[in-house]
Amino acid sequence: MTDDTAGRVALVTGGSGGIGRAVAERLAADGLAVAVHHAGNAARAEETRSAITRSGGRAVTVGGDVADERAMAAAFDAVEEAFGGIDVVVNTAGIMLLSPIATLDLADLDRMHRTNVRGAFVVSQLAANRLRPGGAIVNFSTSVTRTRFPAYGAYVASKAAVEGMTLVLARELRGKDITVNAVAPGPTATPLFTEGKSQEEIDRIAAMNPAERLGTPEDIAEAVAFLAGPARWINGQVLFANGGMA
């Protein structure tokens, strides 16, 4: 903990597993009190909360559909009641459904955009109105906006929208001392990435960056901690955390 992090509070959406859990634990290690958000898997969120408290940190769990403005307003209320305010919001919540554009089930398109686009918008809107001065909003995009892998078209479209709203919001918050950035991970060793892929495909993608490995959730959490804490002069940017893949 440093003077810069003492007393600060973070809300991590999608904090019950994968990258979200790594982010929650990394911010807690920096001394922030953390609210671990889940969209339904309360047990996994509780595992993350327990891991943080066992390490001497402060954490609570909150639930709600990120695309439901009332549910998320209640989640923000709960965090403020527990810790007195919110300084950092990290929006890792998202889903990825892969298909060629020509054959994508439009129901999957709607489902993905509801979580990835509307959800990011709802959370960003609440954060813009409720974060304390000196705060930071960190949204999540994807490095596939550059690598342009086939079958990722709808997912990339949702994340390109997140990038766009992030960059605009940074400028709209002029004078409020709140930074707004996005992290764009490359392929990361989480179930979101590995599910449905053969080991051969995973190995091929891992070999595409100079380090010849997949990223880890902890790699991505380091980038988030940077933007959430000391990186006050970085604002309105997309940070590509992909090991040099693109």
The residues that are catalytic are 155
Element (H, E) at 178: strand 178-185
Can you read off the two tokens belonging to residue 37? Answer: 């958000």
- For the stretch 135-162, what's the b/e string if a residue is b when 16 or more beta carbons lie within 10 angstroms of its beta carbon? bbbbbbbbbbbebeeeebbbbbbbbebb
Q: Which residues contact 115 (CB under 8 A, 6 or more apart)?
A: 66, 67, 93, 94, 95
Cα separation, 143 vs 199, whole angstroms? 21
7: left (phi over 0), alpha (psi -120 to 50) or beta: left
CB atoms within 10 A of CB 126: 20
Q: Alpha helix (H) ranges present in 114-152?
A: 119-130, 144-147
Contact yes or no for 223/183 (Cβ under 8 A): yes
Written as six digits, the tokens of 22 are 């790594």
Nearest to 94 by CA among 152, 173, 34: 152
Q: How many CB atoms lie within 10 A of CB 176?
A: 14
